A = this chain, B = another copy of it.
Amino acid sequence: MRILLVEDEAEMAAALSAALRKYDMAVDRAASISEAEELVALAVFDAILLDRQLPDGDGLCLIPRLRKRGIHTPVIILTAKGTLPDRISGLDAGADDYMAKPFAVEELVARLRAVLRRPADLKPDMVRLGRLNLNLDHLDADVEGRPLRLPRRELLVLATLMRRMGRTVVRATLEAAVYALDEEIQSNALDTHISRLRRKLSEAGAGVEIHGIRGIGYLMKGA
């Protein structure tokens, strides 16, 4: 889950960033509207958290500009004002949800999940392939009921592959799922994760295969 946090206050941004990372989200930060526009051009985000008070104007202005560029990433407004007219103007501008500061992070996470679930409301939290079960929400995996212990990054890679099982996942998508922009990756770290995943899945008798597709990415399917 990759999140863009648009917030000018450094302290607030840092705290929120850290909290969201605990929920295994990759968070990138923009301190202004213009910076946000640049970042949106650089990467695909799953959701945008948008403060209204920004140095170069009301955060709401960002929304129509994104929509004009054909970017329909869901937006959740964050603001100190929680009055009713404020809420309405936010939602009118095209935001998907609204949160007044101060708020509980878990509530924000719940709304994020709700917003992300919206387009395909039917998608289940549990997915199964071969003898492998994975709970995308709580991030735990088991093989026929026997829990499978996996480190964090491998689990994130696995979840991304499972979400699109049977279809190829481009390499960049996998990297994006695991790493935020500011975390640099200058080696074959992803290949390493894939390799270790393959070994563990095989040892656990999961009955799944991860195929490498040269020059493109990976594909996961039952054995």
Contact = CB atoms under 8 A, between A and B. Distances in A.
Interface in A103-149: 103-107, 109-110, 135, 138-140, 147, 149
A103 B44 CA distance: 11
A139 B164 CA distance: 13
Interface residues of A, number: 49
Interface string A144-178: 00010101110100000000101111111100100
A22 interface: yes
A208 interface: no
A219 B23 contact: no
Interface in A3-28: 19, 22-24
A98 to B, nearest CB: 8
A80 B100 CA distance: 32
Contacts of A152: 214-216
A82 B42 CA distance: 10
B42 A170 contact: no
Contact of A44 (B102, B110, B176): B110
A71 interface: no
A151 B214 CA distance: 7
A148 to B, nearest CB: 10
A82 B38 contact: yes
B166 A42 contact: no
A99 interface: yes
A181 B202 CA distance: 44
Interface of A: 19, 22-24, 38, 41-44, 82, 98-100, 102-107, 109-110, 135, 138-140, 147, 149, 151-153, 155, 164, 166-173, 176, 181, 211, 213-216, 219, 221
19 contacts: A22-B170, A23-B170, A24-B170, A24-B216, A42-B99, A42-B103, A42-B104, A42-B107, A43-B104, A43-B107, A104-B181, A106-B172, A135-B167, A138-B168, A140-B219, A147-B219, A149-B211, A151-B215, A152-B216
